[in-house]
Amino acid sequence: MHKFPEILAPAGDAKACLSALAAGADAVYLGLKHFSARAQAGNFATGELSRIVELAHKEDRRIYVALNSLLKPGDPDAAGRLIARLKRDVQPDALIVQDLGAVEMAHQVGFEGELHLSTLANVTHPGALKVAQSLGVSRVILPRELNLDEVRMCNDACPEGMTLELFVHGALCYCVSGRCYWSSYMGGKSGLRGRCVQPCRRVYQQNKRKGRFFSCMDLSLDVLAKTLLPLDNLKSWKIEGRKKGPHYVFYTTAAYKLLRDNPEDPSARKQAEQLLEQALGRPSTHSIFLPQRPYSPTQPSEQTSSGLLAGKVVMEPAAKAKKGERTYPKYYFKPRFELLQHDYLRIGYEDEPWHFTDRVVKRVPKGGTYMLRAPARKDPKSGTPIFLIDRREPELVRLLDEWEARLKRCKGRKGEAVEFTPEYPKAGKRLPVVNVILRPGLPHGKEGKAGKFTANVNGLWLGPKTLQTVGRTLFSRMSWWLPPVIWPNEEQAWQRMVHQALRNGARHFVLGSPWQVSLFEDAKADLVAGPFCNPANPAAIAALKELGFRGAIISPEMSSEDVLALPKESCLPLGIVLSGFWPMGISRLPHDGVKLNEPFSSPKGEVFWMRKYGQNTWIYPGWPLDIESKRDQLLAAGYTMFVKMLEMPPQDVPEAKRTSPFNWDLPLL
C-alpha cells in the first residue's frame, strides 16, 4: 500500500534510478534519449527502460517517463511512434508532457498510463485544472513560484479524478517554467527543448555593481514540507535533479521519506536535515513558499554553485626546463575532508567556461595532498575553489550492487519499430490578412468599423488601466491580450476584468496560455492562442482547436524551415510576431540588486533591461526581434496575422545597433 504523498525521485541514468529505489522512492521520473527537457542527462533507451519498469513494478514502485519537450512541426510523428513503443514494450505508469501535441499523440496511440502536465506547460491558476482535465490529463505539476496559500487554493479547486504534484527540493530557475527564452534568444539552445545553457547563472553588471543577480539557490522545503500533508489532492512530492548523481538522489529521497513518515518526530527531522546538508546541492532556500515570510532565492554577491567545498587550488611553479623543453605547472590541493575512490570533483564554478572535473582514483585522507589533472588549456589560478559534486561511499556502492543484481534478473522487452501516422483535423478556410500592432499603453490613430478588423488592428494588454480608459465604442475593434502568466491569487480579478471587457463589447482575445479559456466559460468570443502558448506543431494546434481556439500565433523560437512548414499542416489560421522587443523571460521572483527600467549588461557586453507588470518582472534584451523582411515568404506560406509588439525601452537603454531574427537562421536544437 503506497503512502501519499508519494516521494518522486529523479533519475538521469540507471545508477541514479537504482539509487532512488534503494532509498525508498515510491516513484521515479526519467527521460528517454529524445523529447526530454533534460537532454544533457544520460537518459534511457526503451530496451533498458523496459527492464527498469519491470524491476520497479516487482517492487510495487512506479516509473514516469518525461516527454516534456516542445515539439517542432515534424516531431509529432516521431513522438507518436515513441509513445506507441512505450505503450507496447515498456508500459510506464505515466508520461510527463509539456506540449499539447504530446497529449494529442498519446490519445491517438491509445496510451494506457496517466498523462501528467509538466511545469513547462504553465498551469498556474486553479481554474486551469479543469481545462487540463478536459484534455485527458490526470495530474498537473504545479509551478515552483506558488506559495503555500496558493497551493492550498489549487488543492481545493482540483477536480475529482485529478491529482497534483509539487517540487519540494532541487534547482530553481529565475524565470517561470515555460516562459523563459533566454538561452534560445542568445543562441538557439532552447530550455523548452531541454537544451538550456543557463545564461541566468552568469555574472551581470548594472552601473558599477556586478553580481549573479539571477542565479538561484536550490529550493528546499525540508521541514516545511509537513505543511503539505493535509492537502488531500497533492499526491506527489517531487525532487528535481535528473542531471545529478546517485549520491544526491539517495540522500534527498531518504530525507523526504523521513520527513513525510515522521512529521512530528524531532530526531527524524534532524536526521533528514543532515541528509540534505550532505546531498551536495547548492545553498538552499524556502524561496517564496511561506506567504508571510518570502525570501529572495538569489544572493547576487555570493556563489550559488553546487557541491561541497573540498579545498582550494595550490599551484606549484613549473620546474626549470632544459633548453628546448616545455614544462607545465602542477596543481594540487589539501582536502578539508577525506576523499573516497570515485569521488567526483569540479574545479571552479559552473558558470565559468574553463571549469573542469576530475575523478578521484584512490582514497586521500583529510589534509593529504591530491594532485589535480588539469586538461590542456585549462589553467586554474591559485585559490580557485574545488567542490565535491558526487561520491560513492561504500554503503551506497553495496546497495547499488544489490539493486543492479536485481535489475539483471529482469528480461525486459526489445521491440521492433512501430508504424504510426498522426491524424489532424482539416484546415479551415483562409482568413483575410490582419496586422496587429500590440501597444503597451493606449491606442491612437484611426480605428476600423465596429465589430470588424481592418488591415491594421490595435492590440492592447488587458488590465485595470485599459479597462478604465478605453471608450466602450472601441472595445469591439481591439485585439485584447491576456498576460503570459496568471497566478492563483489574481485569478478572480482576471475573471472580473474579462467579464467587464465582454460587457463593454470586446470579442477578440489573445490568450497567454491555453488554460486561460477557463476565464471565458460560455462567453461568445473569438479566442486566439498567443505566442506564449508556444504553439509549434500541428498536433498541439489540433488540441487548441479542441479547446475552442479559432487561431494561433506561433512560438517565435522556431527556425525558418519549421515556421514555413507549419501552415500546411495546421487546422487553424496562424499568426506570427514579426517585430518588437520579445522578452528573454518572465519572473515572479524578487529582483535583488537590479533596478527596474535601467540597463544592465552580460559578461560579453550585451545590454538588457527589466520592467514590472503586475506581479511579474519581464526581462528584455536591448535589441529587438525583427523578421519584417520575411513577410512575403510568410504570406506565401499561409500566415494571416502579423504582430508588431510596441514596447519602448527605458530612456537610459542605449539605442539598439542591431536586431535579431531569433532562430530564423538557426536550427532549433
Query: How far apart are alpha carbons 336 and 650 in whole angstroms?
Result: 49
Under the banding of pLDDT at 50, 70 and 90, the label for residue 182 is very high
109 and 136 Cβ atoms separated by less than 8 Å:
no
Q: Is residue 93 predicted with pLDDT exceeding 50?
A: yes
Under the banding of pLDDT at 50, 70 and 90, the label for residue 449 is very low
What are the strands, taking DSSP E only, across 171-247?
Answer: 204-206, 209-211, 218-220, 234-239
Determine the distance from the C-alpha atom of residue 389 to the mean position of all C-alpha atoms in its chain, rounded to a whole number: 23
Task: Output the CATH code of domain 434-582+624-645.
Answer: 3.20.20.70
Nearest to 579 by CA among 665, 642, 668: 642
Which amino acid belongs to residue 220?
S
Nine cell digits for residue 280: 551536495
Q: Quick one: average pLDDT of 558-587? A: 96
State the virtual CA torsion across 577, 583, 588, 591 in degrees, nearest 10: -160
Q: Is residue 174 predicted with pLDDT exceeding 50?
A: yes
Count Cβ atoms below 10 Å from residue 629 Cβ, excluding itself: 12
Q: Is residue 464 predicted with pLDDT exceeding 80?
A: yes
Q: Check residue 36 and give its pLDDT.
A: 63
Under the banding of pLDDT at 50, 70 and 90, the label for residue 254 is very high
Print burial letters for 34-68: b (CB count within 10 Å at least 16), e (below 16): ebbbbbebbbbebebbbbbbbbbeeeebbbbbbbb
Q: Is residue 353 predicted with pLDDT exceeding 90?
A: no
Q: What phi and psi, each to the nearest 5 degrees, are found at residue 137?
A: -80, 135
Query: How far apart are alpha carbons 156 and 152 in whole angstroms?
Result: 6
> Domain spanning 6-172+217-280: which superfamily?
Aldolase class I (3.20.20.70)
Count Cβ atoms below 10 Å from residue 314 Cβ, excluding itself: 15
Under the banding of pLDDT at 50, 70 and 90, the label for residue 2 is low
Query: How far apart are alpha carbons 528 and 471 in whole angstroms?
Result: 23
Q: Is residue 320 predicted with pLDDT exceeding 80?
A: no
pLDDT top residue among 327 and 22: 22
Q: Is residue 617 predicted with pLDDT exceeding 70?
A: yes
> Can you name the residues that pair with 167 across neighbouring β-strands?
238
DSSP characters for 435-481?
Answer: EEEEESS---S----TT---SEEEEEE-SHHHHHHS-GGGGGGSEEE
**CATH 3.20.20.70 residue window(s) in the chain:** 6-172+217-280, 434-582+624-645
Mean pLDDT of the chain: 91
Q: Is residue 484 predicted with pLDDT exceeding 50?
A: yes
> Can you name the residues that pair with 358 across neighbouring β-strands?
345
Q: Check residue 39 and give its pLDDT.
A: 52
Helices and strands of the chain, counted as H and E runs: 15, 32
Q: What is the pLDDT of residues 142-158, one digit of tens each?
A: 999 999 999 999 999 99
Q: What phi and psi, each to the nearest 5 degrees, are found at residue 257?
A: -65, -40
pLDDT top residue among 438 and 378: 438
509 and 528 Cβ atoms separated by less than 8 Å:
yes
Q: What is the pLDDT of residues 34-77, one digit of tens each?
A: 776 555 555 678 888 999 999 999 999 999 999 989 999 989 99
Query: How far apart are alpha carbons 301 and 175 in whole angstroms?
Result: 19
Q: Check residue 213 and give its pLDDT.
A: 95
525 and 507 Cβ atoms separated by less than 8 Å:
yes
